[in-house]
Chain A
Amino acid sequence: MTQETLKPQEKKALIELLYQLADDDFILSFRGSEWLGLAPHIEEDVAFSSISQDMMGHANLYYNLLEDLGEGEADKIAHLRTPDLFRNAIILEEVNGPGTYLKEPDYDWAFTVVRNYFYAVHKHIRLDSLRHSSYEPLAEAARKIMTEQYYHLMHWEVWFKQLMTSTDEAIQRMTTAIQKVWKDFGGVLTLGPYYEDIVKANLIDDEAVMKKRWNNKIEAVLKEVGANYPGEPRMERGNGRNGVHTDDLKQATSTLSEVYATNPSTGW
């Protein structure tokens, strides 16, 4: 399908899906950028900021696809929406830990590794499906993103497996982080209220199929590092795909858009 051949119902579903894809990458990439200068060591600082930059680029690609569909300018979509219009999963907006990057950041590296690894696994599964999407511009974008995301997945998998097989303290912290992420990771694995239309339009695989792929992969990895699979991840604080969010998203978007909002008509 192209822009011209989309039926109204398909277009609506496509727009919903694109907001999910864009906002997931946008918000998690922002959380990643807050680690700049604070990562455990200098090499990680280089790697993590590069990954965050790639992810911001991926969000930008999706926002541009939304712009092509008449949703307004990509920059405005990213910067001027109120939090209730965001479609990212709640676990991705959560702060990195107490403090801010400017003042007493007491960020949780185990939480960051777990969240990013689980997300990277899902993102890979999602892209693998999107590259066959019925909407050709989305399929093309997915193929591009995939070549870059390959390195992200590899990166987080190394961190995850090493910390899970490291000292008692590392294993303890990682286990706590897994329990925390598990409570809300179900929100990443859902396609939201327009799920049926999204799947019917062949934009992406059925969410049940992708969920199963994710669960199988994570279960195998947990087994490999000697940890227990805690059953299906939950969605305790609500579904971000419905526009349900926490105050953490407000903090994220107001910081992200602080400069842009001072003069939206200027070219930044």
Chain B
Amino acid sequence: MSELKNSMTDIVMDALGKVKDPEIASVSILDLGMVHEVYVTEGAVKVSVLPTFSGCPALHIIERDIKKAIEEVEGIQSVEVNFVFTPSWTTDRITPEGRERLKEFGISPPPANHVMGEPWEIDCPYCGSTYVTMENIFGPTACRSILYCKSCKNPFEAMKPVADMGL
């Protein structure tokens, strides 16, 4: 591990881990599973990123922040960021750490292996109760829904589950 740690790719990955979702300050783009591929060749970095929702206004900010974070790495001369759609970003790409950090922010993580069209089970991020109601599938940002916990009587948000549509 210590040997790998020295490679340029790992240093770049560390830098990417510091790029946060502008709308959810506790999670990074790595936590959200948005980074698809990273190529480092001779000081040039190419990052392909999977957009979460296509109308998300944070995408431009994320692109800027990725460039800024990697350009600060010593020995890097150029950074290219591309948004790609294959594979599709789905909510099961969110890492276990990402799921925990979403909870800290008061956002319930989506069910791990959601099948589109099936009902989803969401736990309250505060008390863990499953006694919750969906108030609105659509929330304050494209990727979030609004719910209410009937146990601890708190409103909360959840990541809207996004699954591949069977391809």
A238 contacts chain B at the CB level, 8 A cutoff: no
What are the nearest 5 A-B pairs in CB distance?
Answer: A57-B55, A57-B54, A47-B138, A50-B138, A140-B85
Pair B165/A60 contact, Cβ less than 8 Å: no
Complex interface: chain B residues within 8 A of A143 (CB): 85-86, 88, 164-165, 167
Residues of A within 8 A of B135 (CB): 43
Task: Tell me which of B51, B116, B165 has the highest count of chain A C-beta atoms within 10 A of its own C-beta.
Answer: B165
- Verify if A55 is at the interface (C-beta below 8 Å from B): yes
Q: Quick check: is B28 within 8 A (CB to CB) of the other chain?
A: no
Cα distance A61–B135 when bound, in Å? Answer: 30
Given A54-B55, A140-B84, A150-B116, 8 other A-B contacts at CB below 8 A? A46-B136, A50-B142, A60-B54, A131-B165, A144-B85, A148-B54, A151-B160, A155-B137
Q: Are B138 and A51 in contact (CB under 8 A)?
A: yes
B53 at the interface (CB under 8 A from A): yes
A144 close to B138 (CB less than 8 A): no
A46: B residues at CB distance < 8 A: 136, 138-140, 146
Specify which of A43, A55, A57, A155 is in contact with B56 (CB 8 Å cutoff): A57
- B108: interface (CB < 8 Å): no
Query: Inter-chain contact count A-B, CB under 8 Å?
Result: 73
Task: Report A's interface with B, CB cutoff 8 A.
Answer: 43, 46-47, 50-51, 53-58, 60-61, 131, 140-141, 143-148, 150-151, 154-155
Q: How far is the CB of A21 from chain B (nearest CB, A)?
A: 13
Instruction: Check A56 against B55 for contact (C-beta < 8 Å).
Output: yes
Whether A141 and B85, one on each chain, are in contact in the complex, defined by CB atoms closer than 8 angstroms, is yes
**Given that A141-B85, A146-B165 are known contacts, is A151 also in contact with B55, CB under 8 Å in the complex?**
no
User: A151 near B137 (CB under 8 angstroms)?
Assistant: yes
Interface pair B116/A147, CB less than 8 Å apart = yes
Neighbouring A residues of B136 by C-beta, 8 Å:
43, 46-47
Closest to B145 in A: A151
Cβ contacts under 8 Å, B84 to chain A: 140
CB-CB nearest in chain A for B86:
A140
Instruction: Find A58's partner among B54, B90, B165 (CB 8 Å cutoff).
Output: B54
Contacts of A56 in B (CB 8 A): 55
Interface flags for B122-159 (1: CB within 8 Å of A; 0: not) read 00000000000001111111100010000000000000
- Complex Cα gap A205–B95 (Å): 38
Partner of B139 from the list A50, A58, A144, A147 (CB cut-off 8 Å) is A50
**In the bound complex, do residue B54 and residue A145 qualify as a contact, i.e. CB atoms below 8 Å apart?**
yes
